[in-house]
Structures are given as C-alpha cells and as structure tokens.
Structure 1
Amino acid sequence: MLVHELRTPISSIGSLTRALGDGDRLGPEERRQALELVALHTEHLAAMLDDVRDFSAGLRDRSVGPGAEPTRRAPTAPPHVLGPPVARAGPVALPELVLGAASACGIPAARLDVVGADTTVHSDAVRLRRIVTNLLENAARHGASDAPVAVSWALVGGELRLRVRSRVRSATGTTTAGAGLGIPIVDALAHSLGGRVEHRRSAGHHDAVLCLPSGEPTPPPPVGSP
C-alpha cells in the first residue's frame, strides 16, 4: 500500500516534467499550470514522507498520539521538537486548501464535489493540509471509483466541521477505512490541533468528519507581565 501511495505523485511528477521538457508542447499558461502541479505533487510527497517518519517515531516511543508533538529532523540540523501548533497558526482559506490538497493527491476536478462558503479559519496550515490530504486520498482510494468525493464544511459554535464523504463499494454498506498510514496520522494530527476525527457510516456512505476549534487564539500576555 505504501509503495502505491508513493508511486502516484512520483508518476505525476515524471509525466509533467516530460511535458515541460518538450518546448513546443505547452503554451505559457499550460507551462505555468504544469509547474504549479509539480510543486503540489512535490509537497504531497514530502507530506507522505513526514507521515512515515511520524508514524515510525510513534511506534518506537509512542510519542505520536493525542497532544504529542512529533519529532522533526532537519537535513543539516540536530533533531528538534515542533513548537506548539498555536505558535505556527494563522488564517487558512478552506476552499484553496481543499482544492490544493485534491490536486496534490491526484483527484480530478470532475470527481470532486465541494460545497462550502468562502471560509477562513485560524489553524496550523501545514498540519491542516496534511489532515485534509490524507482524508481525501483515503476516500478516493477506498470509496467507489464511479462516485464523487464530496467535501463540505461549516462553522458550528466556534468549531470547524469539515466532512469528506465517499460512497462505499460493497452492497452491504461496509467498507474499510484504509490500510495505509493515513488514518493513524490524521488522528494524531487532529489531536495535536485540539480536535478529533469522527468516522460515520450510513445509507451507503462513509463520512470522515474533522472537528477543530476555528477561532482566534487567546493572545499571549505582554512580555514582562506577572
């Protein structure tokens, strides 16, 4: 399963770079779009490698879990621990985040059904993108291939509720949540942001609902205050 998950963005990057290498094949606008897709697929590949690292760290020392901060290793720096999510939080536009995540994991626009207002939340954009990308990829891979992947969101009482819905494959209305690393990583990331992911099955559909606090954080006290 992991090999397949890595192969998808690598194959896409290869196809796009070959097209970019043919100087007469793409016009200026097509080249710009292709370069944007290469960047998205590269970010997605990097995020999956982060998932593998975090999951492996959790198996070694159980540090990846509710409220835990995974250890991040820089190529030329000693290991360090991520700061609190609120320290890296900022405004995140949901429509752009969802569409970018869908493009990164190879879901065609014709299969994506997005319903939601032009909403901005205050969160850690990197972790939120990793959560949404994993949920979308899981829905696309394990849901019925002839059905859309539906994404919707709403703000309810200061909480963001983002739902990713896919139609189950079997006639009995059952499906698996996926055999890759996505679900455990999503759960850990959601907990690190003070939220949770709920999985629901009804009427032939599987819903993954991300619930996160959406409001502005309480500002820190002034420096030097008691």
Structure 2
Amino acid sequence: MAQLRGYCAITGILIRERRAFFMRVWALRLAAVGAILSASIALFSLPPAGVETLAILMVGAWLLVYWFLRQEAQHQAQLENRVKTLAAENEVQTLDFARLRRRFISFAEGLPIPILIGDQDANLRFVNHTAYEWFGYRPLTGKSIIALTFCYDLYVLYLHAVQRRYQLTSEIVLSYPRERHVVASIWYLGDDGNTPLFAVALLDKSELVRLEQVRRDFVANVSHEFRTPLASIRSLAETLLHDGAMPPETRERFLQLIVQETERLARIADDLLVLSRAESLPPEKEPVDLAPIIRSVVQQVQGEAKEREVTIECELQEPLRLLASRDQMVQVLLNLLTNAIRYNKQGGHVWVRAAMRDGFVVVEVQDTGIGIPSSEIPRIFERFYRVDKTRSRDTGGTGLGLSIVKHIVESHGGRVEVESEYRVGSTFRVWLPVEESG
C-alpha cells in the first residue's frame, strides 16, 4: 500500500509537469505568432537594408522556437515514458504484494500452531485454521482478540507489544475452551495502508508442564517409597545393635522383618528398571502364541491363589498369534493376575479370557475383588498410585504394576481398558494388535 501511495504521488507530480509543459508550448506558439505578425507589419515600413536584417532575425526566431518545441516534445516523451514505467512497476509490485500475501496466508494456515494478526486496537484481521481449532469456529474478523481467546493476560501483552513496537514473549495460561500452558509471542508485522499490524503465535507447552509435574511427583514418590523401608531397616538394626540381651526369638523376628523390607526395596528397584526399559526401549518383537504363555503364567500364580483361596478359570481361544516381546507379555499377565489375586476376597474368583477380535488379541482378567471407586480409575496407571495404600503394602505391592502394564501394552501399539465397581470387582481388558504378525 505504501508503494501504491508513492506511485500515486509521483503520478500527480507528472500530471502537473505535463500541464506546465502544455502551457509553455502554447506560450511559445503565441509568442512566435506575435513575432511573425510584428515582423510582417515592420516589413512594409523598413528600408531594404532593414528588411534583410529583420528577415535574419525572423529566421533566428523561428529556429529558436523550433528548438524549444523539440526540447519540450522530448521532455513530454520522457514524462510519458516515466508514467508508463511507473505504471508497469506498480502493477508488478501490486502482483508481488498479492502473491506474498497469498503465500503468507497459505504458510500460516499450514502451521500447527495458532497464528493471529490484529491491528493496534487488538482487533483481529486474520485467524489461521489451528487457532479456530483451538478456540472454536465463529465469525471473528474485526473483533477483539479477547473475543477469541477470553484471556486478559494475552490482551495486555498484545497492547504492550503495540506500544513498544518490538517482539514480546511470555508464558501465560489459557483457560478457554480448556486449560493450556502456552508461550505467547507478539511482534510488529508491518503496515497495511495506515494501519500497523501485529502477529501473535501461541506454542502449547502443556505436555511439557505435565511431564515436569510427573517428574517431580515421581522423584517425591521414589524418595518416599525408599525412605519408609530404609527407616524401618535402620530402626530394627539399631535395636539389634544396642540390645545385647534381646531374646533369640525376638532377634529372629527382627531379622525376618529386615529381610522383608530389603526384599521390598529390591522389588521396587526391579519394577523401576522394568518400567524404565518399557518407556525408553522399543519391544523386541517376535512371533508368539499368547495362549500357552497365559497358561504358563496362570500355573505360576496358582500357589499364591490357593493360599488366598482364590479360584482361577481360563477361557482361551487357540491359537493367539501376534508379534510381541515374550518376556514383556509375561510381565503384563503376571501383574494383572497377581493384582486380581491379592486384591480379591477370600473364596473369590478370577477369570482369564483371551480371543481374537477385529484384528486384535483381547485378553481379559476379571476378579471378584475389592473393586476401584470410579473417582480413582483415571489415576490407577500413575506410578506409585495405590487405591488402598495399606493393603497394597501388606500384599507386597510396589504401586508400579499397572504403570508397567500400560507402558508395555502401549509400546506394542495396544491399549488397556478398565471396568470396575467398588466392592464388587474389576475387569482389565488388554487389546494387542496382530496385523504385523501376518
């Protein structure tokens, strides 16, 4: 637009020069005519010698007028060429500007982050597709940025960028339509006519914030999980050390408690290593039949089930072939079955079912145990999270089993579903894709 205004100004100057040119041409023509008339009148009143002199002067005047007319004609041609050149340049610049505008819009529409463009009053001129996906589809052109984001902090940051005319970046929290932690960057884009424009880019860092919170919780939980048995071991060891008159049976009981706490620490360490491998390393897949693996794991936990008077029943379709890590499948089944046994009631039942369904091997572990309150279900896959913390420690649980199950299944491209009714029982359903196994 600035280029167009400049072109219009120059064109106005050229028009004024052209008008002046025509005035000078006509002035010369009138002067020439006047000179010829004056010379003609004088021609009849002069002596012969004067006539010759006058004739020479008339010829000189005609030549001078002709020279001026040629100069003015050349000047006119130059002016016309300049006008044509400016018109052509303006047309090219207009086309280039339109092309750049289309490219920018196409570029902004393809970005996976919201891009907004507004004027100095924070009224929107452009909103890309991702921004509409974030904030909802509705007419917004010409409306305030608050009408889109409902975020006063972003509005204030925008006005500061308008006042200072340089890029501002800040972390803010958007609450509409859901909470997002974003990095907002606002910078001066250029002028559209007499209107300065400013661009806004929003980078979602909600997942980073969530992961940081998970990391802090994990460190705190690990510290707590290790601190409790270590404190118990230290207390027992100090008692043994300072009480030389302790009865042998009490000493033996204390030593057994130390062994139990040490085993608990070992289980936590082992589960942490398993979870770390499941999260960081891809599974080493091989063709396996899951049916005999399930039978083997059921046989492995039968001893604990009998101790707790829990009956296990299997309903398996055979074969159940897929590509999977054999060791990790054993870990998934062991965690699900031991939970179903340890959190069951005396005389309870556990059903293990597996079948092919819609391109998946579906494994179900159902129990008649204590169940899970509906409010707790979204958190049961978190590390160290326990619904019943006292019972979990009494049964030897580390609070990592379901987290291990979730990460292993997801690393195989599957998913885990949970159905539970408090004090009635739970069903864990694992879906494992088989399309890769051929």
TM class by smaller structure: 0.5 to 0.7
Counterpart contact for 1:142–1:175, Cα < 8 Å = no
How far off is 1:116 after superposition? 1.7
1:206 aligns with 2:426: yes
1:222 corresponds in structure 2 to none
Q: Say whether the 8 Å CA contact 1:160–1:213 is kept in structure 2.
A: yes
Matched with 1:141 is: 342
Say if 2:299 is the partner of 1:98: no
Match in the other structure for 1:185: 404
Distance 2:368 2:340 in 1: 8
Contact 2:310 2:344 in 1 (8 A): no
State which of 63, 86, 107 in structure 1 corresponds to 2:305.
107
Distance in structure 2 (CA, Å) of the matches to 1:216 and 1:136: 27
Q: Give, in angstroms, the shift of residue 110 of structure 1.
A: 6.8
- Distance in 2 (alpha carbons) for counterparts of 1:117 and 1:144: 28
Relative contact order, higher structure (CA 8 A, sep 6+)? 1
Deviation string for 1:104-123 (max 9, x for gaps)?
A: 23334971111122222212
Residue of structure 1 equivalent to 2:217: none
Matches within 5 A, 1:29-68: 50-55=270-275, 57=276, 65=279, 68=280
> Is the CA contact 2:340–2:369 (under 8 Å) kept in the aligned structure 1?
no
Task: Determine whether 1:195 maps to 2:375.
Answer: no
Shift of 1:135: 0.4
- Give the 3-state SS of the residue equivalent to 2:346 in structure 1: coil
For residues 159 and 98 of structure 1, what CA distance do their matches in structure 2 show?
16
CA RMSD of superposed structures (Å): 3.4
SS at 1:107's partner residue? Answer: helix
- 1:101 Cα deviation (Å)? 1.1
Whether the 8 Å contact between 2:406 and 2:415 is mirrored in structure 1 is yes
Amino acid at match of 2:287: G
Letter in 2 for 1:98: I
1:179-199 CA deviation, whole Å, 9 max, x = no partner? Answer: 422101111111111111111
* Structure 1 contact 195–212 (Cα < 8 Å) conserved: yes
Quote the Cα distance in structure 2 between the aligned partners of 1:197 and 1:181.
Answer: 15
- TM-score, normalising length from structure 2? 0.30
Identity of aligned residues (%): 20
State the secondary structure of the residue aligned to 2:419: strand
Q: 1:207 to 1:174 in 2, by over 3 A?
A: farther
Q: What is the total number of aligned residue pairs between the two structures?
A: 150
CA distance in 2: counterparts of 1:206 and 1:141, whole angstroms: 13
Q: Kindly tell me: are residues 93 and 211 of structure 1, through their superposed partners in 2, closer, same or farther at Cα, counting changes over 3 Å?
A: closer
**How far did 1:202 drift?**
4.5
Equivalent residues of 2:328, 2:408 under 8 A apart: yes
Structure 2 residue 330 is matched with structure 1 residue 129: yes
Q: Which has the higher helix share?
A: 2
Shift of 1:200: 0.8
From the CA coordinates, give the structure whose radius of gyration is larger.
2
Does 2:286 match 1:89? yes
Q: 2:370 aligns with which of 160, 165, 169?
A: 169
CA distance in 1, matches of 2:268, 2:297: 12
Question: What are the Cα deviations for residues 26-78 of structure 1, in whole angstroms up to 9, with x where unaligned?
Answer: xxxxxxxxxxxxxxxxxxxx9986433134x4xxxxx754xx42xxxxxxxxx
Q: Distance in 2 between matches of 1:189 and 1:136?
A: 16
Moved over 6 A (4+): 46-49, 172-176
CA contact (8 A) 1:162 1:211 kept: yes
* In 1, Cα distance between equivalents of 2:310 and 2:342: 16
CA contact (8 A) 2:320 2:356 kept: no
Q: In structure 1, the residue corresponding to 2:413 is in which secondary structure?
A: coil
Find the counterpart in structure 1 of residue 351 from structure 2: 150
Q: Residue 435 of structure 2: SS of its match in structure 1?
A: coil
8 Å CA contact retained: 1:173, 1:205: no
